[in-house]
């Protein structure tokens, strides 16, 4: 199903999986990543609202498969092949969050630049574009990779921790 979605310019996600008691699959449902309806979880307090956008567009595309218990075959029971947005087959792998990934050699470079250079995202982006000409990395993916490799503060050598230790050893110190 994923290959079908890539070929036709959209991303398929698993919607529902029904299993029998023995663990075998009884029913499997797939839908477009833009399917469904956005249900805001707003609270009564207006100050705690987050105005967020959703990718949900009520796209009607879905496919349902059944696996009868006494049969070896899989049957397609429902297939709605309509979308309510334009499809771009050539760009699916570049912009769909399901298929985007940063190669390992680029991740090693990001790790080096973050840990040893402490460089901001804009500088790292320029260096990566110069070094890896054929790879395009979105800002959100690069930002997530940088956050993964950020150096954590060294709590052991913190001045406030030292003061607490000195006060514990000698209460008259402070």
pLDDT in tens, 123-159: 999 999 999 988 888 888 888 888 888 866 666 667 7
User: What span, in angstroms and rounded, lies between the C-alpha atoms of 156 and 142?
Assistant: 30
Rg, the chain, Cα only: 25
146 neighbors 125 (Cβ within 8 angstroms): no
107 CB burial (10 A radius; 0-12, 13-18, 19+): middle
Predicted pLDDT of residue 156? 66
Q: Is the pTM of this model over 0.85?
A: no
pLDDT per residue as tens digits for the range 10-53? 888 888 888 888 888 888 899 888 888 877 777 677 777 666 67
**pLDDT grade, residue 95 (50/70/90)?**
low
Confidence band of 108 (pLDDT split at 50, 70, 90): very high
User: Residue 37's pLDDT is what?
Assistant: 80
| pLDDT tens by residue, 48-91 | 766 667 777 788 889 999 988 887 888 888 988 888 887 776 66
Q: Where are the domains of the chain?
A: 1-98, 101-174
Q: For residues 148 and 145, what is the distance between their CA atoms, to the nearest angstrom?
A: 5
């Amino acid at each position: 199903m994923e290959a079908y979605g890539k070929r036709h310019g959209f991303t398929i996600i698993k919607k529902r999986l029904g299993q029998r008691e023995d663990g075998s699959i009884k029913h499997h449902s797939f839908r477009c990543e833009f399917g469904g309806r956005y249900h805001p979880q707003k609270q009564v307090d207006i100050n705690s609202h987050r105005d967020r956008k959703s990718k949900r567009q009520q796209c009607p595309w879905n496919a349902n498969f059944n696996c009868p218990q006494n049969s070896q075959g899989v049957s397609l029971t429902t297939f709605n092949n309509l979308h309510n947005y334009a499809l771009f087959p050539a760009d699916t792998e570049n912009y769909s969050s399901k298929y985007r990934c940063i190669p390992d050699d680029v991740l090693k470079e990001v790790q080096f630049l973050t840990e040893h250079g402490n460089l901001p995202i804009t500088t790292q982006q320029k260096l990566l574009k110069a070094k890896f000409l054929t790879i395009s990395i979105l800002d959100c993916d690069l930002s997530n990779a940088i956050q993964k490799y950020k150096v954590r503060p060294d709590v052991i050598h913190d001045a406030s921790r030292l003061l607490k230790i000195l006060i514990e050893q000698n209460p008259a110190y402070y």
